[in-house]
Structure formats: structure tokens, C-alpha cells
């Protein structure tokens, strides 16, 4: 489960509200960038940011702050507040923002959600569902609709949404604990169809554990961090439900379904049940799967010939993307190769997969165009990390 430390902005200042009431705004930190860097130092990978001025105005106001944090930290930044048009979504993403949050627009202009997902992909778009007495609130929580929060979630899923942030406004900024009942109802009503991030009321580590046990995708923490009732590093450690372990043939059906979902190039020989059985017999200690709450989230097929390691392919299920699972699988595979005295590793990957190749380059591989494997347009990438150059 991901922990999202939160920074809300009014007039360029870090603030927190109580139950969404702008009149309760209180300054909680001196500088947004320095606060973000402190979160990063504590181990955060993501940061949740809301343009409260933008939410009220209906258009972005504090964009420069989010751009700076995206550029000057390694944090993945998600931003909400005042995002009402496709152009605004594109502008934020072009600044290095990892994903944007559509709140009021999801209810008032659902076609925008559909268009944004079609143009930018579901991993870039989050829908924020903020509820008062289970009814969806909009316009910076200044208006309450007659739409039930679960009904809106189901409609958005039908439009391609894969991630929601659910906030019980009555608890937001109160340190009164998360609304486990409403979160459980949402999780059960949408089981297996989306990722859910809890927001509002987080107080202590008990709330993190409660969200983790619900199998949620993430939890947003704000006031609890600023007032010291929750330690961010401890929260991150408690939230980590990902398990990476050696792959076995019992994983085959789930792994094959994952490969299909990812659009991997499969063949009837190597990727058949018999082919994978042969592969695992040769490479029992270097091929791994990642599980999240018992669900297969990713697979990496890794082996070696006694001289050089090779990564056959690696995939992360779409609903678990952007959580660092791929990087952790790669790290585990390389660690296993090192333990077997393998100090050079190559990757075979589809040349046309620009997004995938970018991931591998981020992991320290460099591209070579001089390899053609089974008449497919492929490249080989050699890791140039100091431990893998011989």
C-alpha cells in the first residue's frame, strides 16, 4: 500500500483545513518544496497535492509550486484542484506531474474523464470522490449533490477509471480516524475493478494498518504528519504489503493472464506451461513474482548461462502500475544473479516498446540496436552499473 503525504496549498502556503472549511485554514509548514524534500527523505515515493485556490476558482492557481516539486525532487506528484479541462490535464502532465485528480469534473462533466483517459491513459488520471453523508460533494466541497459515492465510482469504472481517492469530508482534518465502514463498502462494491486510496481522518498507525487490511491501494496522510501523531517512515514500513518471492508453477495461470493483460508478445513454446516449467527448472532461484495482498502483481523471468545473466521479460499488472513494483522486481533479480557470481546481465525487449525501454534505461541499462532475436525487432540492453560490467 502506498502512503501519500499531503500538501494543500492556499496562497502559496502549506495549509490544512478541517472538514473542507476554508475558514479553518491553518498554516502547517513554511515551504512546500522543503516539506516535500522532508517527505522524500523519510522514504515517500509519492506526494499528494491539492490546489485549494484552484478548487474554489475552477482553474489552476498554484501550478508553479507543483512543477518545482516535480522537477526538484524524485517524488511522483499527483495534483488536484481546479482541473476542469483536457488542456489543463495535458499542461500538468507536460510539467512532469505524474497524474492528475479530477474531482468536480467527474460529476459535472463525465465526458472529460472519458476523454482524458483515452488521450493520456488511465494511469495518469485519478478521480477524487469526496462525500458528505455518503453523497458526493463538488466545487472545493462547497456544494453537495444527490449522487451516492458508490454510484459515482461504478459510473467512473465504466468510463475506464482505475484509481479513486475517497474522502469522507466529515473526518478530513479531524484526526478522528478513517471511515472504515464506507471504505469497506466501496472496496466490496468495486472488488477487483479499481484501486482505492483512503483520505480523511488518518490519525495514528492504527489507521494505516486498518487501510492495509482492507487491501487498499493507498492512504493519504496530512494533518497527522504535521502534528506528529503519525511518523511517515513508520507508516511507509507498516503499509508495505508487497511480497516478492521465487516463481513456481502454481503461479502459471495468474502469470499468463497478467502477460495477456500487459500485451506481452507470447509464443506457444517458451511461454506455454511446459515451456515455463522447463525455464523454472533451469532458473529456480532467479525468477520472481510480486504479490500484493495475495494477488499476483508482477513477474520477472530472469536466468543465466553461467557467464551472463539475462532478463527474459518483466511485467506488472495494469492496476499495480506506478508503484515501483517493476523496479523492485529488477532489483531482486539482479541481487539473485550477484549471489550466483553473475556480474553481467542483458535484457531482450521489444524495440517498438518506447515506454518499456524508457523504464529499462532508468534502471541503468543502455540500448544496443545490433541484436535481432527470432526475427523480431528487438534490442539488447547491457547494464553498466559498476557491479555488472565484467
Tens-place pLDDT, residues 132-149: 888 888 765 556 678 899
**Has 8 been annotated as catalytic?**
yes
CATH of residue 277's domain is 3.40.630.30
Residue-wise pLDDT for 101-118, tens only, equals 998 788 889 999 999 999
Listing DSSP states for 315-345 in one string gives: EE-GGGTTSSHHHHHHHHHHHHHHHTT---E
Output the pLDDT for position 108. 84
- What is the greatest pairwise CA distance in the chain? 67
* Residue 222 vs residues 47, 68, 129, 231, 344: alpha-carbon distances, Å: 10, 20, 17, 11, 44
Q: Would you give the DSSP letter of residue 377?
A: -
Quote the number of domains for the chain. 2
Residue-wise pLDDT for 216-258, tens only, equals 999 999 999 999 999 999 999 999 888 999 999 999 999 999 9
Looking at the structure, do residues 30 and 82 belong to the same domain, yes or no? Answer: yes
Confidence of residue 390 (pLDDT cuts 50, 70, 90): very low
Residue 130 predicted with pLDDT over 90? no
Looking at the structure, do residues 250 and 224 belong to the same domain, yes or no? Answer: no
For β-strands 345-350 and 309-316, DSSP reports them as parallel
Q: Which of 51, 130, 168, 207 is catalytic?
A: 130
State the CB neighbour count (10 A cutoff) for residue 158.
11
Nearest Cα neighbor of 76 from 35, 42, 40 is 40
Residue 271 predicted with pLDDT over 90? no
Looking at the structure, do residues 77 and 93 belong to the same domain, yes or no? Answer: yes
Output the pLDDT for position 68. 95
**Has 123 been annotated as catalytic?**
no
State the CB neighbour count (10 A cutoff) for residue 390.
7
Looking at the structure, do residues 138 and 232 belong to the same domain, yes or no? Answer: yes
Cβ(156)–Cβ(128) under 8 Å? no
Looking at the structure, do residues 90 and 225 belong to the same domain, yes or no? Answer: yes
| Last-in-domain residue among 239, 256, 286 | 239
Domain range holding 289?
A: 242-388
For β-strands 46-51 and 2-10, DSSP reports them as parallel
Q: Which three cell numbers stand for residue 132?
A: 458528505
| Last-in-domain residue among 193, 213, 239 | 239
Amino acid at each position: 500500500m502506498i502512503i501519500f503525504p499531503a500538501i494543500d496549498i492556499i496562497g502559496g502556503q502549506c495549509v490544512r483545513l478541517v472538514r473542507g472549511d476554508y475558514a479553518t485554514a491553518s498554516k502547517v509548514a513554511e515551504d512546500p518544496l522543503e516539506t516535500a524534500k522532508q517527505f522524500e527523505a523519510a522514504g515517500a515515493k509519492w506526494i499528494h497535492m491539492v490546489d485549494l485556490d484552484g478548487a474554489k476558482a475552477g482553474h489552476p492557481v498554484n501550478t508553479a509550486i507543483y512543477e518545482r516539486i516535480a522537477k526538484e525532487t524524485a517524488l511522483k506528484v499527483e495534483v488536484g484542484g481546479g482541473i476542469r479541462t483536457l488542456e489543463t490535464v495535458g499542461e500538468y502532465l507536460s510539467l512532469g506531474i505524474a497524474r492528475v485528480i479530477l474531482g468536480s469534473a467527474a460529476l459535472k462533466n463525465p465526458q472529460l474523464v472519458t476523454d482524458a483517459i483515452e488521450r493520456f491513459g488511465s494511469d495518469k488520471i485519478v478521480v477524487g470522490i469526496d462525500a458528505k453523508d455518503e453523497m458526493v460533494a463538488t466545487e472545493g466541497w462547497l456544494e453537495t449533490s444527490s449522487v451516492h459515492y458508490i454510484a459515482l465510482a461504478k459510473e467512473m469504472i465504466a468510463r475506464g477509471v482505475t484509481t479513486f481517492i475517497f474522502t469522507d469530508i466529515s473526518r478530513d482534518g479531524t484526526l478522528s480516524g478513517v471511515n472504515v465502514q464506507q471504505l469497506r463498502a466501496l472496496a466490496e462494491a468495486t472488488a477487483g475493478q479499481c484501486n482505492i486510496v483512503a483520505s480523511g481522518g488518518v490519525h495514528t498507525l492504527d489507521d494505516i494498518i486498518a487501510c492495509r487490511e482492507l487491501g487498499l491501494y493507498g492512504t493519504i496522510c496530512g494533518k497527522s504528519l504535521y502534528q506528529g501523531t503519525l511518523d511517515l517512515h513508520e507508516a511507509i514500513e507498516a503499509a508495505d504489503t508487497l511480497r516478492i518471492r521465487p516463481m513456481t508453477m502454481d503461479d502459471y495461470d495468474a502469470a499468463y493472464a497478467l502477460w495477456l493483460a500487459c500485451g506481452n508478445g507470447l509464443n506457444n513454446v517458451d511461454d506455454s506451461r511446459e515451456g515455463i516449467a522447463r525455464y523454472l527448472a533451469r532458473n529456480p532461484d532467479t525468477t520472481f513474482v510480486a504479490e500484493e495482498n495475495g494477488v499476483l502483481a508482477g513477474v520477472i523471468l530472469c536466468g543465466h548461462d553461467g557467464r551472463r545473466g539475462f532478463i527474459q521479460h518483466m511485467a506488472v499488472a495494469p492496476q499495480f502500475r506506478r508503484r515501483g513494483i517493476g523496479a523492485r522486481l529488477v532489483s531482486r533479480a539482479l541481487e539473485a544473479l550477484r549471489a550466483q557470481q553473475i556480474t553481467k546481465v542483458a535484457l531482450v525487449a521489444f524495440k517498438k516498446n518506447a515506454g518499456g525501454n524508457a523504464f529499462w534505461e532508468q534502471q541503468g541499462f543502455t540500448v544496443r540496436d545490433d541484436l535481432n532475436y527470432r526475427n523480431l525487432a528487438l534490442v539488447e540492453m547491457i547494464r553498466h552499473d559498476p557491479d555488472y560490467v565484467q
